[in-house]
Amino acid sequence: MHIGQQIAQYLLSGLSTGAIYALIGVGFAIIHNATGIINFAQGEFVMLGGMFTVFFLTVLNLPLLVSVILAIAASTIAGVAFERLAIRPMKNASPISLVIITVGGSILIRGIAMLVWGKDTHALETFSGNEPIQLGEATILPQHLWIFAVTTVVIICSKLYFNYTISGKAMRACAYNSRAAGLVGIDVRRMVLFSFAISSAMGSMAGIIIAPLTMTSYDVGVMLGLKGFCAAIIGGMSSGLGTVFGGVILGILESLGAGIFSSGYKDAIAFIILLIILFIRPHGLFSKGDTERV
């Protein structure tokens, strides 16, 4: 394989990985813009999506589509329960206290998952077979196409939801000024609940579509969540195209670094990029200001 083929393969792999980071990053951004906090438990909903799907498939022997739907529903319920039990009772807490609570929630969810499913790594079957597809000088697995398709559909649906539905516009109003939104009759607490439901559903979908490629276990959400957070930071905590571009940039640079230098640097590259971005542009590369965030 000559250098051109290698670069093409790295770029294609990076795009797929970046799409996952973007999907997770948008979940971070939605909660941050609705509540002002960083939900470091977001990665655990990614893990729950994959683990619930494996559970419904292998233990209950349900069809793949039914297992996926139930896994998303179960993860969403977990996200709603997390907001009701951990975040809402602390309504007067400082932002740093709420961040610490999300870290504690992450540890708790991960511990429960370890007790329920054990420490073993679980495989999830691919959605459309394993026959590689040739794209120019690179090859791609059918599962990568599912990643691109699901991420694209979710991002488009989220933009339509926030721009054209009553509840979406209400959530945007809470992001702009929660006190003013409450004065005009918007139930701010309900909007916060919706933000956790939407972000946990997004996270679970990311975990489901990546599980056939990377497999899943009780602790996969830690690193995926941190990289999704990096994508959100690069995108300026925007739940739109900024975070999508942030995820894609992160995925491509990570893939190129791992391929050209060493795979041992793969995880370090994401955090080096984060530190550079925070040093040069603390508000992110694609920050558009508070008035354009969701």
Q: Tell me: the pLDDT tens digits for 8-52?
A: 888 888 888 889 999 998 888 888 877 778 888 999 999 999 999
Q: What's residue 291's pLDDT? A: 35
Question: CA 246, CA 228: separation in Å to the nearest integer?
Answer: 9
Asked whether residue 288 is assigned to any structural domain, the reply reads no
Asked whether residue 45 is assigned to any structural domain, the reply reads yes
Asked if pLDDT for residue 214 goes beyond 60, the answer is: yes
| Nearest in space to 173 (alpha carbons), one of 29, 30, 34, 32 | 34
Going by the DSSP 8-state scheme, the letter that residue 89 receives in this structure is G
| Nearest in space to 30 (alpha carbons), one of 70, 79, 75 | 79
Q: What's residue 47's pLDDT? A: 94
Asked if pLDDT for residue 146 goes beyond 70, the answer is: yes
Q: What's residue 235's pLDDT? A: 80
Averaged pLDDT of the chain: 84
Question: CA 264, CA 145: separation in Å to the nearest integer?
Answer: 26
Domain count, the chain: 1
Question: CA 264, CA 129: separation in Å to the nearest integer?
Answer: 29
Give 288's pLDDT tier (boundaries 50, 70, 90): low
- pTM for this one? 0.87
Q: What's residue 70's pLDDT? A: 95
| Nearest in space to 247 (alpha carbons), one of 40, 18, 77, 74 | 18
Q: What's residue 2's pLDDT? A: 66
| Ranges 8-12, 129-133, 216-220, most confident | 216-220
Asked whether residue 233 is assigned to any structural domain, the reply reads yes
Q: What's residue 293's pLDDT? A: 44
CATH number at residue 189: 1.10.3470
Give 90's pLDDT tier (boundaries 50, 70, 90): confident
Q: What's residue 290's pLDDT? A: 42
Q: What's residue 286's pLDDT? A: 67
Asked whether residue 17 is assigned to any structural domain, the reply reads yes
Going by the DSSP 8-state scheme, the letter that residue 85 receives in this structure is I
Buried b (16+ CB within 10 A) or exposed e, 16-50: bbbbbbbbbbbbbbbbbbbbebbbbbbbbbbbbbb
* One-letter amino acid for residue 196 of the chain: F
Higher pLDDT, 153 or 242: 153
* C-alpha torsion sign, points 95, 75, 156, 243: positive
Give 128's pLDDT tier (boundaries 50, 70, 90): confident
Question: CA 22, CA 10: separation in Å to the nearest integer?
Answer: 18
Query: Under 8 Å CB-to-CB from 201, ≥6 apart: which residues?
Result: 72, 75, 76, 79
Asked whether residue 33 is assigned to any structural domain, the reply reads yes
Question: CA 174, CA 180: separation in Å to the nearest integer?
Answer: 8
Work out the average pLDDT over 268-290. 71
Tally of residues, the chain: 294
Radius of gyration of the chain (CA): 19
Asked whether residue 131 is assigned to any structural domain, the reply reads no
Question: CA 242, CA 71: separation in Å to the nearest integer?
Answer: 28
Asked whether residue 285 is assigned to any structural domain, the reply reads no
Asked whether residue 188 is assigned to any structural domain, the reply reads yes
Express each pLDDT in 94-115 by its tens digit.
778 888 899 999 999 999 999 9
Domain carrying residue 205: 7-126+137-280
